[in-house]
A and B are shown apart, each in its own frame.
Chain A
Amino acid sequence: MSRDPLEILASLNPVARLAESLSSDDAMLATIIASVPPTTVLSRRRRRGVWAALGTTVVVLGVAAFAILRQESPANPTRIVCFTDASVPPSGMHALDVSNDPVEACGVLWSNGVIASGEPPALTACVTNEGTIAVIPGDQQVCAQLGFANWVGAFSDDERRIVEFQTAVTEWFGTQCVPQGDALPQAEQFVADFDLDGWTVTDSGHWGVDRPCAASGVDPVTKTVNVGGRRRSAADNTPTT
């Protein structure tokens, strides 16, 4: 008995007779080719189904992309800026102090004559690459179109605290003449009072006889409070209420 594996496999062929050519085969083949395949209608239906599924997938993915537009919080929550048009850079920018509703705040400028007079266009709050909230004319897609993220839509407690911190520091140093010797310790005390971690106070200089009072600036991006000399101001010792 042969031990050749190929011969063993050949001997096991259950349809060995298929290799044989019969005289009726050609006629049978011609009949098959001439007949309409009964599966054609079904194939068309399948193809339509595939196209429908693809279309549905595209629509679903589009909706999903809309729903998951990149959203961010501002690195600097203390300022907002209103763009006059949807371009970078825009033809004009109006910087505002932060408010709870940046879109509404900028909308006012579109109706009171500062940017335009009339009904404001659709406006969307974005977060620029500098980490600032920018309110831009356009729908929800305008942020992504300009390379920005959409704003998350609300301020966190930490962001509110930074706004309050900036307000307190600005009012303190802006409405009275704080001398150089007191300025840095007082700024450091503000940082301590607001329990802000990682913040530093920096002296910007410019002190002098003609610049004896402290100016201040709060930069949430670098977590820095800058204090430097300024001229006396008519607002010194003016209550801000």
Chain B
Amino acid sequence: MRIRVAIVATVIAASIGLAAPSVNAAHERMVSPAWFEGELIDLSHDWGKATACNVSAEESRCFRTEAEMDDDIAQRQRTVQDRGVIVASLSTCASSLKLYNGTSYTGTVLNLSTRFSYINLSTYGFDNLASSYKVGACDVDMFAGAGGAGCLYPGDTSANSHAVAMSSGWNNVVSSVYIY
């Protein structure tokens, strides 16, 4: 099951940063879109009256209370079980690790958000291609080999860090990542 993000708005405001840049919502792409009472809100900008959100890569849904969120999660799980569908219950980070095959955040970008598992970049045809990156809300480890093998990337990969170029000797080297 997805790890639920049920946090009071004030805590979230502190954790994602009150200094987050304001969003011209009408014309700029939302950083952390989520559904709240039928409308899209940007969690990185303003939670409005929402106090609890169930965040996933597929869809983020917010509620006025944690109890409402729990009810929604339970209802969706029952629906899923009734339909006999397959659902990987892995956790996802609130915002993605972005890997670019060009320096300075250019070229193809691969967005990754699955936590707690080595992710082989060959799965996405992105093996040995990363040339710059932006880390999302979760710390990251990057490795030269598949499955967490090989050397550990020495650059800063803590939450919200970024680099226009890889550390020396690491251009087009990363083969797997781990998102905390």
Contact = CB atoms under 8 A, between A and B. Distances in A.
A96 B58 contact: yes
Interface residues of A, number: 62
A112 to B, nearest CB: 5
B29 to A, nearest CB: 6
B116 A175 contact: yes
A186 interface: no
B57 interface: yes
A113 interface: yes
Contacts, number: 169
Contacts of A91: 108-109
A167 B87 CA distance: 9
A171 B89 contact: yes
Contacts of A216: 116-118
Interface string B17-33: 00000000000011001
Given A79-B123, A95-B110, A130-B125, A166 B58 contact: no
Interface residues of B, number: 53
A96 B59 CA distance: 11
Given A91-B108, A95-B124, A173-B116, A112 B149 contact: no
Given A108-B59, A217-B148, A219-B120, A95 B1 contact: no
A94 interface: yes
B113 A95 contact: yes
A97 to B, nearest CB: 4
A79 B89 CA distance: 12
A137 interface: no
B40 A112 contact: yes
B57 A170 contact: no
B90 A219 contact: no
Contacts of B58: 96, 99, 105, 108-109
Contact of B178 (A78, A97, A130, A215): A215
B149 A205 contact: yes
25 contacts: A79-B114, A79-B119, A88-B125, A90-B108, A92-B111, A93-B124, A95-B113, A95-B123, A96-B58, A97-B90, A98-B88, A99-B58, A99-B85, A113-B33, A129-B125, A130-B122, A170-B90, A171-B89, A204-B149, A215-B148, A216-B117, A217-B117, A217-B178, A235-B116, A238-B3
Given A98-B88, A219-B146, A233-B116, 11 more contacts: A89-B108, A92-B111, A95-B112, A95-B113, A112-B33, A130-B123, A204-B145, A206-B148, A226-B118, A230-B178, A231-B139
